[in-house]
């Protein structure tokens, strides 16, 4: 699933997003590592291990991107282009309120959502990230509405409340069942004229999940992601591949649904 040079391996243990989240590995994983999230015998254990991992991650941009701070700019550029595309297609009409799901310290909130929306809410399972978000965001934090400390498996957006629900690099921690349930709740949280955007890594395999034992997460095949979104009662409006990421990294896609 990933390439691990000695230097990258050391960086991975100090910074937030594990190297395994981004880089491909040429050797195949044992079959036990190719299971889907719902094959786990204990969902509580799955979530507790993930929470324990993130609790020790630094509250800075390098932490949010696993030492790959250089990914921030191309990530923001393509995300802004995708929102502009959704606006042009009338898939996203109003820009009153958005929510950043899996927000960390607010990297996406600060650089993508606050420049576009009047108010932005935030939700993340890691209390330290939420606590450090005001300092990171700075003066514009006054336009942040509610900040929730909650795992997405338990989070319930207020009904008919958001124009945009942005979900980035976090759904790999959800079991398939909780993925579907979360997006069903998100569907109910949309205002008329709004949409959901999921931005996520896509497995290098067409039909198998990649498992990362460091942060206890799964990377799903693209078709499985689309299938789960449809199972949640959502329709695919548009999808687009992230560009200008280094070669050898897992593909990243943006999916707009409603």
Instruction: Provide the residue ranges of all domains of the chain, joining segments of one domain with +.
Output: 6-257
**Confidence (pLDDT) at 216:** 86
Residue 149, annotated as binding a ligand? no
Residue 102, annotated as binding a ligand? yes
Residue-wise pLDDT tens digits, 205-214? 888 999 988 8
Arithmetic mean of pLDDT, 197-208:
94
- Cβ distance 181 to 112 under 8 Å? no
- Cβ distance 203 to 212 under 8 Å? no
- In this prediction the pTM is 0.88
> Span 6-257: which CATH code?
3.40.50.150
**Confidence (pLDDT) at 20:** 47
The pair of structure tokens assigned to 115 is 């420049």
Residue 152, annotated as binding a ligand? yes
Residue-wise pLDDT tens digits, 22-61? 555 433 333 334 556 665 557 888 899 899 989 989 999 9
Residue-wise pLDDT tens digits, 144-181? 999 999 999 999 999 999 999 999 999 999 999 999 99
**Confidence (pLDDT) at 32:** 36
Residue 125, annotated as binding a ligand? yes
**Model confidence at 66: pLDDT above 70:** yes
Residue 168, annotated as binding a ligand? yes
């Amino acid at each position: 699933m990933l390439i691990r040079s000695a230097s990258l391996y050391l960086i991975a243990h100090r910074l937030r997003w594990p190297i395994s989240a981004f880089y491909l590995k040429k050797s195949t994983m044992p079959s036990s590592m190719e299971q889907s999230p719902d094959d786990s015998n204990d969902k509580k254990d799955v979530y507790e291990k993930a929470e324990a991992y993130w609790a020790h991650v630094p509250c800075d941009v390098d932490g949010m991107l696993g030492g790959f701070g250089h990914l921030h700019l191309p990530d923001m550029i393509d995300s802004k282009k995708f929102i502009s595309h959704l606006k042009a297609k009338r898939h996203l009409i109003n820009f009153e309120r958005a929510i950043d799901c899996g927000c960390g310290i607010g990297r996406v909130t600060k650089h993508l959502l606050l420049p576009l929306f009047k108010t932005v809410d935030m939700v993340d399972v890691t209390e330290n990230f939420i606590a450090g978000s005001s300092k990171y965001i700075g003066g514009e934090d006054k336009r942040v509405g509610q900040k929730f400390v909650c795992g997405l498996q338990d989070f319930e957006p207020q009904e008919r409340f958001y124009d945009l629900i942005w979900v980035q690099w976090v759904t790999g921690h959800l079991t398939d069942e909780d993925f579907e349930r979360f997006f069903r709740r998100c569907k109910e949280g949309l205002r008329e004229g709004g949409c959901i955007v999921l931005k996520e890594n896509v497995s290098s395999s067409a039909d198998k999940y990649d498992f990362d034992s460091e942060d206890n997460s799964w990377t799903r095949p693209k078709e499985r992601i689309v299938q789960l979104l449809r199972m949640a009662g959502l329709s695919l409006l548009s999808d687009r591949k992230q560009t200008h990421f280094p070669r050898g990294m897992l593909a990243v896609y943006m999916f707009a649904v409603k």
